[in-house]
Each structure stands twice: as C-alpha cells, then as structure tokens.
Chains A and B, each alone.
Chain A
C-alpha cells in the first residue's frame, strides 16, 4: 500500500488521462469539448494535492522509485506545464480539428513518463520513464495527421528519438556491466572504484552523454529539433519544447550527477564545451530565421546550452543543481508561453508565423502582444523576470566551478540572442499591421492564461525566493559532494 501512495500523483494523472478518453467516447467529442481542459486541470490539481493529503517519502517498490524533494520539484514543474498546455490548447485544437481527447490524454501520458523520470533511482525506471515520456510526444507531433509537415515532424522525431533511446539503453547496459546492478547508488560506487582509467566507464559515459544529449537537444545531437518543433501543431510544440527537455535534464541530473558523479571532474569539461557549442549554434542559427516558430525552436536549443552549463558546473555543489532545476522551471513557463503566443497568428490557419505576419500585433491583439513581449524579455534574460534570475543563478555556480570562459560565453550569447528576440518585439510594436491581415479570433482563455503566466514570470522574477529555496532542497539528494 505504501508503494501505491508513493506514486499516487502519477496514478492520478494516468487515471485522468483514461477518464478523459472514456468521457469523450461516451458523451461524444463535441459535447465533451468545452469540459476537457477543466477536467484535465482537476486531475492535475488532485495529483498535486495528493502528496499533501497522503505524504510519502523515501524508497518504494523495492528501491526502484524514490520520493524526495527532487521528485517533488519536478512533479510540480511537469504538472504546471501540463496544466498550462491544457489552458492554451483549445482554440487551436478546435480550429485545426485536432481530436481533443486524444491531445489531452497524450499530454497526460507524457507527463506521467516525465514524472517517472523524476522518481527514478534505478536505470530501468529511468529508461521506462523516458520512453513513456517520449512516445506520446511523437504522437503529439503528428496529431494533425492530414498535415504533411506534422507527419514529417513526427516521423523525424520518432526515428531519431528511437535511435537515441537505443544508444542510451546501450550505455545503460555498459553501466550495468560495470556495476552488476542498475541501481544508481550502486552504479555510482562501482564507477568510483573503476575510475576513468577503465575503458568501460569511458564507453558508457560517451553513450549515455549522446543518448541524453539527443533527448535534451544538445548540439550536435539536435538535428531533429527544428523540424519537429516547426512541423508539429503549435500546442504540441509548446508542450514538447519544455516538458521533454525538463525530463531530459531530470534524467541528466540523476544519471550524471548521481551515477556518474564520481568521475564528474572528467566529464565536466566535455559538458562545458558542449554547452558553449550548443548555445552558440542555437543562437547563431536562430538569428537568420524569418519564421518565428523555427526561430524559437533554435532558441530552445540555445537554452539547452545555458542549462547544460549548470550541469558542467556540478563541482560547485548544490548551487549548480539548483541553478539547473530553477532554470528548467523558468524555461518551461517562458518557452511554453512564447510558443503559445504564436497561436494568435496560427489561429488564422497559417503554420507558425513569419516575422511579417506579426507586424502590428500590438494594435491587433494588445494582450497577446504584451504577453508575448514579456516572454521574450524573459528569454532574453532582462530583469525583473524569472528568465533573468535563471541566468543570474546559472552564472553563479559556473564561476564557482572556475569556468570563467563559460560564464562569459553565456553573457555574450545572451546579448546575441537579444537581437532576434527583440526583433520580434520590433515587428509587433513598431510596424503597422498589414491592411489585408485577417482579423484575430477572440480566444479569451488563451489570452487570459498567457497574461496570467506573463505576470507570474514577473512576480517570480521579483520574489523568486520560495522557488529557489525549493530548488536548493531539490538539488540536495542528487548532487554528490
């Protein structure tokens, strides 16, 4: 029974997904449509509240699963992101005739997978979680099945994702070979004993880095990202640009910090280099994009680079782990919001939005333009926003771990990124709208949730202490001193 209580939130989310599918089948898609997001939010709220009613901590399922502060933080993050997705999706789904129930249920299944990653104390749990998270996302990418771009996105994502999973599981196999166990703590002990001198550890390290790199879209393992993000229906893009990335970093923290923590000093430099390459490549390519959706896809690669810098700096201790966790949370809200803001244009039936299509959005839809601007300011890292705090907290452990050049690279990249983020603001505020531009449909729920989210990013930018303190506690169990 205590095992079930340990995974009660995950169980509730799964049940919600099944109920949604069932309700849609029984009362019919059309009648169920208005209630779907609210039903989903109810389930998510219950999942979030359940650990308060039935607290549980420590190992469960014979050591396959652990509930600690790390789990709690990521559960919160994933539930918030799924809830946010539910609030922004309806107008697009209706417009593009994407099946509602399937969309919401798939998001929920993916969320369960992501939450499982955060629970993992064992390579097997971790892998199952990652796959459970990934497979629904492939489906989400292709949910608009009559759209050839969506098909392309889905297929590309699936093939490369499956490939990366194979690499990852092969790396896990090597780790099992070294330790004779799949438990993270035992792997850690065995790796510490073997050291980097043994070729097995090097092979495992390389395979695991590549496999997790694919999931997080680290350059050079990022090729699937732009096409997948660009081709997928926009609400799917919004979700899959944040939740899988957050889960990937949860996995990276669990595996790299805990299992491979003993050889941290050896892989840190590699990660630092990967971080610089990732952020620079993402930003440079984003500079020349004229489709904002594609630009945001590349920008999300750049943000992977920033987060990776924190992983490279794990020698600094919990502050590095907390920086990664905080940034993942901040990135989740701001990036989901940014993609979702595109839906004001998407609702008119075009794919994504070119810069010119955003001309004069401020006079066409003030709330949407304002919210989008706030998210872009967040992504740029200008205070007082949560995005700025993410960068501030990230630079701290990076300098502490004596990666001065990496901190400078983050700063220069942020300045570079400002150019393309602010260009979007230029088009929204400083150009007049096209006379032939179609009227923007009123989507009250979408506008309201975007405005609320924008305000939240500013409020948390001014008063981030509760979140950061939580992130510090969450980093405690994964970072080995």
Chain B
C-alpha cells in the first residue's frame, strides 16, 4: 500500500478531501482540455480506489457506524464534523465514486465538447457533496453536503444541457431548494429540541441515544419537513415533475449522476434520518407514504409506456423504481428495508447504464424520439448486447440485479401488517408495476433496436473502447448483484435491523 496507516484511519475524510484537492490543479488547467480531463480522471480514479480501500476495511456483520471521524466543528453551537459509514451507506459511497468515475471517463471521450475544464470542475465539486451526503452523521454537516450538490448540478444541466436546459435547471433547483429549506427549519427545530442551551447537538448518534427527546406533535411536523425534502429529491409522486425535464435536458453524464446518485440521497435521507429520528411522526404519515409509493410505481410505469422520448421513458421509469424504494423503507421490516437499499444500488447501476446507452445512441443518431429510431441492432451487435442486458435488469429479470431488490421489497410488502390497509393490498398493486415495466421496456427495446435497417443509421459505428470501458464495470455489477446478492445483503442487514429497532424502540419509549 502506498498510503500509510495514519492517513487511512481517516479514510472517509480523505474521500471528502480528494476531489477538493483535485480542484486546485484543475483551476490552473481550466483552458487546457487535455490536462483538465486527465486531472479529473486521475482524481476520480484515486477517489474510487480509496473508496474500495474503505470497503475493504469495512467490517461486515457490525451494525454500528465504522471509521468514524468526529471533531467539534462549531464549538459555540455544539455542531460536529462527524462522518462514518454503516451497512446502509457504505455501498452507496462506492456506487457514488464508481458512477462519478464512469461519468468522467465517458465525458472525456468526447461527449462534452465545450468548456471541458469547467465541466470537470463542476463534477469534482459535485462528488464532494455526493460522498459527503452518504457519510455525514451530523445533521448540519448533512445539510451542507446536501445543498452542495445543488449548484454544480445546476450548472451541469444549465450549461451543457439540451435546448430547454434553462427551464429544466431552474425547475430542478427551485423544487429541491424549497424542500430543503423547509428541512433546514426542521433541522433548527431539532437542534433547539435536542436539549437546553449549551448542550444542544445535531449529531445523529447523540440524537438517537435519548429516545424520549421529541414529543409526538413535534415529530409529526419534523417528519413532514424532512420527508418533504427527501420526497422532492427522490422524487415521489406528486413532486416528480422536475425529474423528466431535468433528465431530458441534462447531458448524459449529468443524467447518470442525477439518476444514479442524487435521487438516492433522498431515499438515503429517509432511511437514515427521517425514520429513526421521528418514528412516531413516521407512523402518522405511513399510510400516505405507502399510498404514494404504490401510486408512483403504477403511475411511473403507466406514463413510461406512452413516452415518445427515449430519455423521458427512462426518467419516468426512475419514478416507478423509486416508488419501490419508499415502499420498502416504510413497510418497516427487514426484507423491505434491505430490498429498498438494494433497489437503490441496483437502480443506480442499471439506470445509470441506461442513460449512458441512451446518450451513446443519441450522439450517433442525434435522435431521441423512439419513432425516429429502429433497426439499430443490425449494425451495433455490442451495443445491443449491453443495452439489452441493462433493459432486462431494469425490468427485473431474475438473475440480474433489478430482480433482487424488487423481489425483497415485494416480500416485505406482503408481510406488512398495517392498518387501515395491509400489505396484501399494496403487494399485488406494486407487482402490477413490475409487469408494466416489462411492457414498456421491451416495447421500447423492440422499437429502437429491431425492425428494418434505416439508411441514415447504417454506417454508424458500434461502441468505442472508452464507451466499452465505461459500461463494463456496470455490466459486471449488474450480474454480480443479481447472482450473488448474499454478500451485499450481509453488509446491509445488521445496520438496517438496527435502524428499524431504533425506529420501533423509540416509538415505544414515548408512548
């Protein structure tokens, strides 16, 4: 190992610092495209390697937070810089670094043609926020990272996006910001409720240690504010309207990150903060969230079916897939929860890949309308194979990763015994969404890839080496997660059980 121990003891802090360090040379090479690409590639690659080192250090089977770094950050307020990972977040961190590296790799292959230096700088800044969100254990720190993701993504969509990019990017920011600012009010309220002046805290571990801290009334509103912010980010129906616009206009790499990571920040926030901190509040909102989740699954799938634009189709399918995440989280059992976390990972890999392939296709044909495409399979055997596998994974074919998460969520849903409506109602309804997914994805694949060869697309080249290199890691993960989900479940399960225990024990303690 090149890095010596003491540095690796703070591996999580290192993950935050590396992209910032990468920004420094980038600022000097802003105008030099080649250098900017190289700096960004090296930085994101080092980040990926360090995150894998972190994964190797992770002790599987432990429920608590590991590799914790904790320093008093704002002494007058008692706010801490506290980072750590557990089974829920550790895989999401690796997913983040992987997808960022792939996005940068793909973008440096020629997908981004103007202002390359700025693009790479925005990506590195984005990576700081994204990694930070998944490792922050202090609500204040979490909020800082959560918002830090906003400005770079705003620029990425707004500068390198399509024709309606400005509308899309403003909509994206305003939706997200309205939610998160209300969450900020709730965070401050949590801070004030956490104790008397002088002993207040926003550290997650401190907040969950004293169970009776938040009164039921307080929890009701605090959960609402948190859940609203995360529901917009996720996005849940009816807050999803920014997503299709943002996805359609974003450059390919932006779409990959948006779908792969940014949406996960919402799901992760629900499972990490909203649920364990305000279990009683969560109970009160539970029926509505379950209803909206199932609505999202069916509505997202139904709307995907009628989309004419390839990117919009994948975007709406994300709404449906995220419905499974919220459903899994809020049926409040281990199967559902593990399924939800796996679904987040799977969706990150698969939908990231789908956006990548839609982008690759668009760069050659300059068409995204499904009706304008067709017969692509004839000239592109490699592309067809890759794209086909990802489409099958997305619709939940057993043996590929999409199946595992959705299956566990459905099992969890059937086991849910809640009133007024139990899992026996929600389960079948959600299962309809799985069937619809097969309908819209296979239909799309058929229309785009098969049929007569079109003259205009006949001589377009198949995948380039850079594109293959970008896709192979995602393909490998799709298959590994599908065939051997057990190691991943072993990582997730203990921490998830602990979260659920916190959620229910806390509910009992106040009653």
Contact = CB atoms under 8 A, between A and B. Distances in A.
Interface of A: 319, 366, 377, 380-384, 388, 391-392, 395-396, 399-400, 407-408, 410-412, 414-415, 418-419, 422-423, 425-426, 429-430, 464-465, 468-469, 472
Contact of B173 (A391, A400, A422, A472): A422
Contacts of B151: 377, 382
B184 A395 contact: yes
Interface of B: 30, 74-77, 140, 143-144, 147-148, 150-151, 154-155, 158-159, 165-166, 169-170, 173-174, 177-178, 181-182, 184-185, 188-189, 191-192, 197
Which residue, A411, A414, A429, has most C-beta atoms of chain B within 10 A?
A: A411
- Among B151, B165, B185, the most chain A Cβ lie within 10 Å of the Cβ of B185
Given A391-B184, A399-B189, A407-B185, A418 B174 contact: yes
B185 A399 contact: yes
B148 A429 contact: no
A426 B158 contact: yes
B192 A415 contact: no
Contact of A422 (B30, B170, B185, B192): B170
A375 B189 CA distance: 27
A396 B192 contact: yes
Contacts of A319: 197
Contact of B182 (A388, A408, A422, A464): A408
B184 A392 contact: yes
B192 A399 contact: yes
A439 to B, nearest CB: 18
Nearest to A362: B118
Contacts of A399: 185, 188-189, 192
In terms of DSSP, what is the predominant structure of the interface of chain A? helix
B281 to A, nearest CB: 16
A382 B150 contact: yes
A395 B77 contact: no
A471 to B, nearest CB: 9
A411 B173 contact: no
Contact of A412 (B143, B181, B191): B181
Contact of B166 (A377, A407, A426): A426
Q: Which 3 A-B pairs give the minimum distances between C-beta atoms?
A: A411-B181, A415-B178, A383-B144
Contact of B185 (A380, A382, A395, A469): A395
Given A411-B185, A429-B158, 8 more contacts: A382-B147, A399-B192, A407-B188, A411-B184, A415-B178, A419-B170, A419-B174, A422-B173
B74 A464 contact: yes
Interface centre among B76, B169, B191, B197 (most CB of A within 10 A): B76
B144 A465 contact: no
A426 B171 CA distance: 13
A426 B191 contact: no
Nearest to B81: A462
A469 B76 contact: yes
B406 to A, nearest CB: 34
Nearest to A318: B197
A408 B182 CA distance: 7
A20 B230 CA distance: 57
A381 B188 CA distance: 15
Contacts of A415: 174, 177-178, 181
Contacts of B169: 426, 430
Nearest to A395: B188
Contacts of B191: 396
A415 B189 CA distance: 19
A366 B192 CA distance: 42
Nearest to A415: B178
A391 B166 CA distance: 27
22 contacts: A382-B150, A382-B151, A383-B148, A388-B144, A391-B184, A395-B185, A396-B192, A399-B189, A407-B189, A411-B182, A411-B185, A412-B178, A412-B182, A415-B177, A419-B174, A425-B158, A426-B166, A429-B155, A429-B159, A430-B158, A465-B76, A469-B76
Which among A388, A399, A430, A472 has the highest number of chain B CB atoms within 10 Å?
A: A430
Nearest to A467: B76
B6 to A, nearest CB: 24
Query: Main secondary structure on chain B at its contact with chain A?
Result: helix
A252 B116 CA distance: 50
A384 B184 contact: no
B188 A396 contact: yes
Contacts of B170: 419, 422-423, 426
Contacts of A422: 154, 170, 173
A109 to B, nearest CB: 35
A396 B170 CA distance: 28
A160 to B, nearest CB: 33
Contacts of A400: 192
Contact of B159 (A381, A383, A423, A430): A430
B76 A468 contact: yes
A422 B173 CA distance: 9
Contacts of A430: 158-159, 165-166, 169
Contact of B147 (A388, A419, A464): A388
Contacts of A380: 177
A52 B80 CA distance: 33
Contacts of A407: 185, 188-189
A418 B184 contact: no
Contact of B148 (A384, A392, A412, A426): A384
A379 to B, nearest CB: 13
B161 to A, nearest CB: 9
A319 B78 CA distance: 14
Contacts of A464: 74
Contacts of A468: 74, 76-77
Contacts of B75: 465, 469
Contacts of B30: 366
A104 B376 CA distance: 70
Contacts of A388: 144, 147
A432 B77 CA distance: 44
B60 to A, nearest CB: 34
A412 B170 CA distance: 16
Contacts of B173: 418, 422
Contacts of A381: 181
Contacts of B144: 383-384, 388
A396 B148 CA distance: 21
A366 B184 CA distance: 32
Contacts of B197: 319
Nearest to B200: A396
A16 B265 CA distance: 55
Contacts of A392: 140, 184, 188
A412 B155 CA distance: 23
Contacts of B140: 392
A291 B18 CA distance: 40
Nearest to A389: B74
B177 A418 contact: yes
A430 B115 CA distance: 11
A456 to B, nearest CB: 18
Contacts of B148: 383-384
B470 to A, nearest CB: 27
A288 B170 CA distance: 16
A415 B74 CA distance: 26
A383 B188 contact: no
A423 B148 CA distance: 18
A385 to B, nearest CB: 10
B202 to A, nearest CB: 11
Contacts of A411: 181-182, 184-185
A286 B74 CA distance: 34
A472 B166 contact: no
B481 to A, nearest CB: 34
A465 B76 CA distance: 7
A418 B179 CA distance: 13
A411 B151 CA distance: 18
Contacts of A469: 75-76
Nearest to B75: A465
A381 B140 CA distance: 14
Nearest to A431: B166
